[in-house]
Amino acid sequence: MERENQTGGRNFLLLGFTEDADLQPFFFGLLLSMYLVTITGNLLIIMAIISDLRLHRPLYFFLSNLSLADIGFTSTTIPKTLLNIHTQSKLIPFPGCLTQIFFFIVFGCLDNLILTVMAYDRFVAICHPLHYVVIMNSCFCVMLALGSWLISVMSSLSETLTVLRLSFCTNMEIPLFFCDLPQVLKLACSDTLVNTIVIYSITIVIAGFPFSGILLSYSRIFSTILRISSAKGKYKAFSTCGSHLLVVLLFYSNGLGVYLSSAATSSSRMSIIASLMYTVVTPMLNPFIYSLRNKDMQKALGKLLRKTMQLGEGTPAGPL
């Protein structure tokens, strides 16, 4: 089989959703709608947190970082997919594919780490409420957020740069709508042992340890909640972490679905559905989960929307 180095201007083919030209407008409209909802919802969350002083608390600081990560995560794949559908092209050059892999891993890792930090925040709030302000001070919260960004970038660099050492065969077809690192490695003609070791090592550190931390945090949280005597107290305690727990379940179940479908079945349709759920549906639902289940967020969003409408009508916003 012919081998060529990846730096020679080779292009990958993103097979996308379907070969049927009649269905292309449907998928374009669907993806565009979901993308706009995702961007709008997460931007509203960020703007509401910035504009409302009552939300200048650790939980919402981390939530704004999560929304920013979701915007980046979706923007890494969907705009290119929409462009390919619009131009009826499946090509993505190697540098573009490598860039997509890099940012996909960055924001995926960041999502994971921010969810872990938010679990720790809920653990301190419920299990050590009297020490919450001291432990979760602003300096510590900024360090946790910056550390999550730095670890995500370094982890992604480690995984992405190892692709540069590979040579690829003449078959450059990726059976997804974006460049997924495991799928790209399957196209390599050269030995991918180093890449596999790096991926598994980073996955254990970036996914395994944080997930264990989340499980440990919630085991302590549930243990504390069960010791609360009143039903009202239990409900109030659980409501403070219910939204986060739902987002965690959604993120990990869809992420697990992507890699199980890739490993357990050769059906590209199942892999595409799982990838779509992971890359688009989850970031789209996160703002709804936090806004619908959080009264403070609802009030902040309401104020932000009223202020925006008043400014649009040209009337003074006044005190809200």
Tokens, residue 101? 């892999």
The answer to whether position 320 is within a domain reads no
The answer to whether position 315 is within a domain reads no
Bridge partner residues of 11 (DSSP):
93
> Is the confidence at residue 320, as pLDDT, over 50?
no
pLDDT tens-digit series, residues 109-124: 999 999 999 999 999 9
The answer to whether position 187 is within a domain reads yes
Number of domains making up the chain: 1
**CA of 299: how far to CAs of 53, 61, 75, 182, 295, in Å?**
12, 17, 28, 43, 6
The answer to whether position 319 is within a domain reads no
The answer to whether position 317 is within a domain reads no
Can you give the pLDDT at residue 275? Answer: 81
- The answer for 53, left when phi > 0, alpha when psi is -120 to 50, beta otherwise, is alpha
> Is the confidence at residue 279, as pLDDT, over 80?
yes
**CA of 16: how far to CAs of 78, 135, 213, in Å?**
11, 47, 36
> Is the confidence at residue 292, as pLDDT, over 60?
yes
Per the prediction, the chain carries an average pLDDT of 84
| pLDDT over 70, % of the chain | 89
Tokens, residue 266? 């050769």
CATH number of the domain that 272 lies in?
1.20.1070.10
The reported pTM is 0.87
pLDDT tens-digit series, residues 132-183: 999 999 999 999 999 999 999 999 999 999 998 888 877 788 888 889 888 8
The answer to whether position 316 is within a domain reads no
> Is the confidence at residue 17, as pLDDT, over 60?
yes
Least confident of 40-44, 95-99, 164-168, 251-255: 251-255
pLDDT tens-digit series, residues 198-252: 988 888 888 888 989 999 999 999 888 888 777 777 777 777 787 888 888 888 8
The answer to whether position 318 is within a domain reads no
Which class for 45: exposed (0-12), middle (13-18), buried (19 or more C-beta within 10 A)?
buried
Can you give the pLDDT at residue 79? Answer: 93
> Is the confidence at residue 22, as pLDDT, over 90?
no
The answer to whether position 260 is within a domain reads yes
Amino acid at the residue 59: L
Alpha-carbon distance of 308 to 29, in angstroms, equals: 27
Q: What is the bridge-based pairing of β-strands 3-5 and 167-169?
A: antiparallel
| Nearest residue to 209 (alpha-carbon basis) of 275, 151, 126 | 151
Residue span of the structural domain in which 53 resides: 3-310
**CA of 214: how far to CAs of 123, 131, 248, 267, 285, in Å?**
9, 20, 9, 32, 20
